[in-house]
C-alpha cells in the first residue's frame, strides 16, 4: 500500500466538485486504512472509531476471519446471480439465519444487498401474504432512503425534505419515549384511534418497528409495547416486522434486540453488522408468510452476493467464538459507568437520558440539567471536539441532540477506555477565562 499522504482538504475540494451535495459526511476526513476499532485518514492521523461505519462493524474493521473467508470466496467466484446459478454459501447462511431466528417454528430467509431493500421486501412479502396494503410505522423511525422506506421513516429532516408525493397506505403512531412523556399507553391508544379514524385493522398488512430505534435516538421499545403489538397483530392477522438492521447481530447483548422482550416477530429485517463491512441484507421470516410469494417475486441481481455470504458466515462464527454477546454487555457496562461519572462532573456539558441495551448506548446533550431541552448544536460541537482529539462519534435523534456509540464489539478494552477518555475531554466545557 502506498504511504503517500493526501490532504483531506484537497480531497474535500475534489469531492465537492464531483459528488452530489445530498450525500453528507459526518467528518471532513478521508479514510486510508482501518483495523478493528481504529481508522487512519489520508494524512496518516489515527482515530478511534466509535461509529463503526454506522453500526456495521460489530466485528471491527477487516476482522482477519472475515478477510480470510472473503479471500477464499474471491478465489472461487464473485458473482453468478443466485437466479442464474445458486451457490452453497447463500443456502448455508439462510440455514444459519433460520436456526437463530427470534421466533419458533419453520423459517425461511431471503438475502439482499441493502437495509432499505430488506425493508422494501419485508413489506412486499407482508402485502402478498395478507392481501392487504396498509403499513403502520412509528414516529422517529428510520427504515431507509428509498421511496417506500422513506414514507415509513418518521423524520422529515434531512431525509424527506422536498419529497411531498408519498407512497400511499402508510400510517404512523407515536413511539413511546419516557423523557418526552410519551407512554406505551399513549402509543397503543394512538393505534386504537387510527383504527377508528383512518384504517380498519383488516386492511393492515404490517406493523414495522425498530426494537431499539437507531437514527431516531436509540430509544428502546418497551417490552409492554412489543407485547401489545404482538397481541394486536395476532388478533387481526397483521404481520409484525422487527427492523433489526441497526440493533441486530450482538450489538445489544443478544443476537436480536427483540429477544430482550420475549416477543416473537413474524419477519425480521437484517443488514449492517451481518456481513462485517460487506454489503449484505436479508429478511428472515416465518415460512408460512415468506413462502406466499411466487418464485421470481423476490431477488435481485446482487442479492445475497457470494462474497457477502462468505463474510456473514464468518461474522456468525466470530460472534459465537469471541463471545460477542457477553462482550457487548461488558462494553455497555464500561460505557455506562464512564458516562455516569461524566454526567455528575462539574464543568461538563450537561447531558441526560443515558439509554440503550448492551453496547447500543446513547445520551443527549441538553441546554441545562433542569429543563433537559435538547441541544443539537451542543451535540454537534461535542462530536467535533471529539474528532479533534482523535475520536469518531456520531449524533442522531430528533434534533441531532443525541450522541450514540456504535463501537466495534471486538475493541481492545484499553482502546475503549482511551476513547471514553477522549469523549470525556470533548464533553468538558471550555474553561472560562476570568
Ligand atoms: C433500522 C434501520 N433500517 C433500515 C436502514 C436502511 O439501511 P440502508 O442504509 O442499508 O439502506 C437503516 C440504516 O441506517 C436502519 O438503521
3-state helix, strand, coil in the chain (%, to 5): 40, 20, 40
pLDDT above 90 covers what percent of the chain? Answer: 89
Contact predicate 214/247, CB 8 Å:
yes
pLDDT in tens, 222-241: 999 999 999 999 999 999 99
Helix, strand counts (H, E) of the chain: 13, 15
pLDDT in tens, 409-422: 999 999 999 999 99
Query: How far is ligand 1, taken at its centre, from the CA of residue 72, in Å?
Result: 28
pLDDT in tens, 149-170: 999 998 887 887 777 666 779 9
Q: What is the mean pLDDT of the chain?
A: 95
Contact predicate 28/41, CB 8 Å:
no
Question: How many CB atoms sit inside 10 A of residue 24's CB?
Answer: 6
Burial class (CB within 10 angstroms; exposed 0-12, middle 13-18, buried 19+) of 370:
exposed
Ligand 1 in contact with 135 (CB < 6 A)?
A: no
Q: What is the mean pLDDT of residues 39-51?
A: 98
Ligand 1 pocket, mutate which of 246, 305, 394 (most atoms under 8 A from CB): 246
Query: How far is ligand 1, taken at its centre, from the CA of residue 433, in Å?
Result: 44
Ligand 1 pocket, mutate which of 142, 146, 303, 406 (most atoms under 8 A from CB): 142
Atom index in ligand 1 nearest the CA of residue 215 equals: 16
At 134 the pLDDT is: 97
**Which range is least confidently modeled, 37-51, 160-174, 285-299, 314-328?**
160-174
Query: Is the pLDDT assigned to residue 367 strictly greater than 50?
Result: yes
Ligand 1 in contact with 142 (CB < 6 A)?
A: yes
Give the SS3 label for residue 171: strand
Atom index in ligand 1 nearest the CA of residue 114 equals: 10
Atom index in ligand 1 nearest the CA of residue 145 equals: 11
Query: How far is ligand 1, taken at its centre, from the CA of residue 161, in Å?
Result: 18
Query: Is the pLDDT assigned to residue 328 strictly greater than 80?
Result: yes
Query: How far is ligand 1, taken at its centre, from the CA of residue 261, in Å?
Result: 22
Ligand 1 pocket, mutate which of 116, 122, 138, 221 (most atoms under 8 A from CB): 116
Contact predicate 48/418, CB 8 Å:
yes
Ligand 1 in contact with 138 (CB < 6 A)?
A: no
At 154 the pLDDT is: 87
Query: Is the pLDDT assigned to residue 433 strictly greater than 70?
Result: no
Query: Is the pLDDT assigned to residue 181 strictly greater than 80?
Result: yes
Ligand 1 pocket, mutate which of 143, 220, 397 (most atoms under 8 A from CB): 143
**Atom 8 of ligand 1, residue of closest alpha carbon:** 115
Query: Is the pLDDT assigned to residue 431 strictly greater than 90?
Result: no
Ligand 1 in contact with 282 (CB < 6 A)?
A: no
Atom index in ligand 1 nearest the CA of residue 119 equals: 4
**Torsions phi, psi of 394, nearest 5?**
-105, 155
134 closest CA partner among 159, 176, 167, 163: 167
User: Rounded to two decimals, what is the model's pTM?
Assistant: 0.97
Atom index in ligand 1 nearest the CA of residue 243 equals: 1
**Helix axis angle, 324-344 to 306-321, nearest 10°:** 70
Atom index in ligand 1 nearest the CA of residue 117 equals: 11
173 closest CA partner among 209, 149, 205: 209
Give the SS3 label for residue 53: helix
Q: What is the mean pLDDT of residues 194-219?
A: 97
Query: How far is ligand 1, taken at its centre, from the CA of residue 41, in Å?
Result: 25
Find the angle CA(324)-CA(37)-CA(256) to the nearest 5 degrees: 30
Strands of the 394-396 sheet, one edge to the other: 351-357, 360-365, 402-405, 394-396
41 closest CA partner among 416, 395, 391: 391
Ligand 1 in contact with 122 (CB < 6 A)?
A: no
Query: How far is ligand 1, taken at its centre, from the CA of residue 108, in Å?
Result: 21
Ligand 1 in contact with 218 (CB < 6 A)?
A: no
**Which range is least confidently modeled, 17-21, 88-92, 230-234, 365-369?**
365-369
Torsion from C-alpha of 101, 246, 210, 332, nearest 10 degrees: 90
| Helix or strand (DSSP H, E) at 325 | helix 324-344
pLDDT in tens, 65-104: 999 999 999 999 999 999 999 999 999 999 999 999 999 9
Ligand 1 pocket, mutate which of 26, 51, 214, 257 (most atoms under 8 A from CB): 214
Amino acid at each position: 500500500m502506498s504511504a503517500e499522504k493526501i490532504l483531506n482538504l484537497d480531497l474535500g475540494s475534489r469531492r465537492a466538485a464531483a459528488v452530489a451535495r445530498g450525500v453528507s459526511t459526518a467528518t471532513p476526513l478521508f479514510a486510508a486504512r482501518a483495523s478493528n476499532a481504529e481508522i487512519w485518514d489520508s494524512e496518516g492521523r489515527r482515530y478511534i472509531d466509535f461509529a463503526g461505519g454506522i453500526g456495521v462493524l460489530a466485528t471491527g474493521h477487516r476482522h482477519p476471519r472475515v478477510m480470510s473467508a472473503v479471500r477464499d470466496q474471491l478465489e472461487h467466484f464473485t458473482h453468478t446471480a443466485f437466479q442464474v446459478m445458486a451457490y452453497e454459501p447463500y443456502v448455508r447462511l439462510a440455514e444459519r439465519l433460520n436456526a437463530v431466528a427470534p421466533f419458533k417454528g419453520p423459517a425461511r430467509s431471503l438475502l439482499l444487498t441493502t437495509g432499505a431493500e430488506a425493508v422494501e421486501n419485508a413489506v412486499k412479502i407482508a402485502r402478498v401474504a395478507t392481501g392487504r396494503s396498509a403499513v403502520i410505522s412509528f414516529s422517529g423511525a428510520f427504515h431507509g432512503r428509498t421511496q417506500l422506506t422513506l414514507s415509513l421513516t418518521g423524520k422529515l429532516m434531512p431525509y424527506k425534505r422536498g419529497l411531498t408525493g408519498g407512497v400511499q397506505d402508510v400510517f404512523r403512531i407515536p413511539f413511546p419515549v419516557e423523557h418526552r412523556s410519551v407512554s406505551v399507553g399513549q402509543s397503543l391508544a394512538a393505534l386504537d384511534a387510527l383504527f377508528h379514524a383512518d384504517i380498519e385493522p383488516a386492511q393492515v398488512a404490517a406493523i414495522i418497528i425498530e426494537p431499539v430505534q437507531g437514527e431516531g435516538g436509540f430509544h428502546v421499545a418497551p417490552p409492554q409495547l412489543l407485547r401489545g403489538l404482538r397481541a394486536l397483530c395476532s388478533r387481526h392477522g397483521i404481520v409484525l416486522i422487527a427492523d433489526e438492521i441497526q440493533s441486530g447481530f450482538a450489538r445489544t447483548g443478544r443476537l436480536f434486540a427483540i429477544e430482550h422482550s420475549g416477543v416473537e416477530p413474524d419477519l425480521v429485517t437484517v443488514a449492517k453488522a451481518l456481513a462485517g463491512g460487506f454489503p449484505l441484507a436479508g429478511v428472515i421470516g416465518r415460512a408460512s408468510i415468506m413462502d406466499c410469494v411466487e418464485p421470481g417475486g423476490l431477488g435481485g441481481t446482487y442479492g445475497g452476493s457470494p462474497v457477502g455470504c462468505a463474510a456473514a458466515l464468518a461474522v456468525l462464527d466470530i460472534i459465537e467464538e469471541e463471545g460477542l454477546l457477553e462482550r457487548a454487555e461488558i462494553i455497555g457496562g464500561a460505557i455506562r459507568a464512564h458516562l455516569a461519572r461524566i454526567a455528575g462532573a462539574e464543568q461538563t456539558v450537561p447531558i441526560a437520558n443515558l439509554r440503550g441495551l448492551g453496547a447500543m448506548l446513547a445520551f443527549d446533550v441538553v441546554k441545562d440539567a433542569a429543563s433537559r431541552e435538547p441541544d443539537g448544536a451542543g451535540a454537534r460541537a461535542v462530536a467535533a471536539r471529539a474528532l479533534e482529539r482523535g475520536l469518531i462519534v456520531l449524533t442522531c435523534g430528533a434534533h441531532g441532540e443525541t450522541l450514540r456509540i456504535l463501537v466495534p464489539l471486538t475493541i481492545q478494552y484499553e482502546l475503549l477506555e482511551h476513547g471514553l477518555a477522549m469523549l470525556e475531554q470533548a464533553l468538558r466545557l471550555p474553561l472560562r477565562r476570568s
